[in-house]
Structure 1
């Protein structure tokens, strides 16, 4: 189920994301480092040494796509008029990932690695943690539901 965020939580969520969203390469690196099974799902990165590809153009481009998706979703959250756009984005993500055999477990691993990254790069305290937990619970509720029903 989805729990609405307060205005303060929403503001903290968005402002804190804005402080890390330009660290695309570092975020994806952290996810891949913690989850080689996720890296293995990307044909252009599968079987390659993570440190040797981290500074490549391909890695930068793909990092930008992944983090950019989150930035787009986060930018739309909080305005009820944006719900159709959010649904379109999330349904597209679910459909494309299901077609590539990405399962719920990988999304959950991604989430855990993202939280770990954030906890080391934001002013992480109880308020920040609870805000991100709530926001990601809401986001992943929709993402995992869309993954479940995707064709």
Structure 2
């Protein structure tokens, strides 16, 4: 990240890469942002269904951090995603060799992945990210919260 000062526009950041991915690539993120443009909001999503080649992989609930992409356009990019879920844990009962699988609430944190990251978590992030970009509710709530800020 380089920092430039322009007397007419204030402080600007030129981001060459964020977490190893080019900002201008597939999501059209803005390269020039003022120092006050790091505003973001939390957006709770429900029942985002992930399907690939007609196969349903599941429905997801959680929270996404939507950050300001370009202040002139008032659009957002998805910075982080936290998916609500459950974890299976082994529980030994009273010292006996009997073990029981117990489910507990858990959260899976997905940071914005690098472009060349092809792991399951990165692909899951991109699927949920695409659904959020397509969501009229996410766009309206982001614009409303940005206007109020």
Q: When the two structures are superposed, what TM-score results if normalisation uses the length of structure 1?
A: 0.30
Higher strand share: 2
Q: Which is bigger in relative contact order (C-alpha 8 A, separation at least 6)?
A: 1
Q: When the two structures are superposed, what TM-score results if normalisation uses the length of structure 2?
A: 0.31
**CA radius of gyration, larger in:** 2
Higher helix share: 1
